[in-house]
Amino acid sequence: MAHFEDATNEYSAVHSSSENNVLSQLRRATWLSTTKPQMLSDPIQGRFLSMISKMIRPNRILEFGTFTGYSTICLAEGLVDGGEIDTLEINDELEDIQIKYFKEAGLNDIISRYYGHALEIIESGDLKGGYDLVWIDADKEHQIEYVEFAIKNLNPGGWLLVDNVIWGGAVLDKMKLSRPDSGASRIHRLNQHIVNHEKLENVLLPVWDGVQIARKI
């Protein structure tokens, strides 16, 4: 997740509900103990994920990219009683911090953690499907495969959220788009795939680093 610290973002954060104490502690622990803490969702994006989840009231959530578990906890805030989350993370060295803060949030029993490359996990057949909400914030090389998996495994009317779809503005850079293997080109192809998909209706929000919100028709 890219961070854009400007006056508008600061104003928005001040006039939005605050993260709870567990999330605040997890934020501090992430910055103290990981090598890429900037991958953490900022507080306002966390409140956005929580609010979307509370609107949807999902029974089952799938998350691509657990990191230290901040977004997982935010998404869990909207689950119905008895709901559950499957979350995928490539770095198993983050397991201890995830377990600690999932336990503190009272969520250990409803979160199933899968470690490994997301593409290999979704091809393994281990995931149950039947999701109401899918959040994608993982590697950018296989985003279209993740979106296709999400569509196949979302319930009708289910929701898909994809992060980093503006890629720091690179999707507007013609020089970067001229290189097929650039991050900008990959993200641009992803956005085209989503907007043209017959099973989706979507809106791309130009906030943070861009968020796709799509509904399975």
Residue span of the structural domain in which 111 resides = 7-216
Share of the chain above pLDDT 90, in %: 91
Query: How high is the pLDDT of residue 5?
Result: 59
pLDDT above 60 (res 4):
no
Q: Is residue 1, in this structure, part of any structural domain at all?
A: no
This prediction has a pTM of 0.94
Query: What total of structural domains would you count in the chain?
Result: 1
pLDDT band at 8; cut points 50, 70, 90? confident
Q: Do 118 and 43 contact (CB within 8 A), yes or no? A: no
| Residue 61, domain CATH | 3.40.50.150
Q: pLDDT (tens digit, 9 = 90+) per residue, 127-182?
A: 999 999 999 999 999 999 999 999 999 999 999 999 999 999 999 999 999 999 99
Q: Is residue 107 part of a domain?
A: yes
Q: Is residue 187 scored above 60 in pLDDT?
A: yes
User: Residue 86 in contact with residue 127, Cβ under 8 Å?
Assistant: yes
pLDDT, tens digit (0-9, with 9 covering 90-100), for 118-129 = 999 999 999 999
Can you tell me which residue has the tokens 């393994």? 124
Average pLDDT of 76-89? 98
Residue 208, pLDDT score: 84
| Interval 53-77: pLDDT, tens | 999 999 999 999 999 999 999 999 9
Domain annotation covers residue 2: no
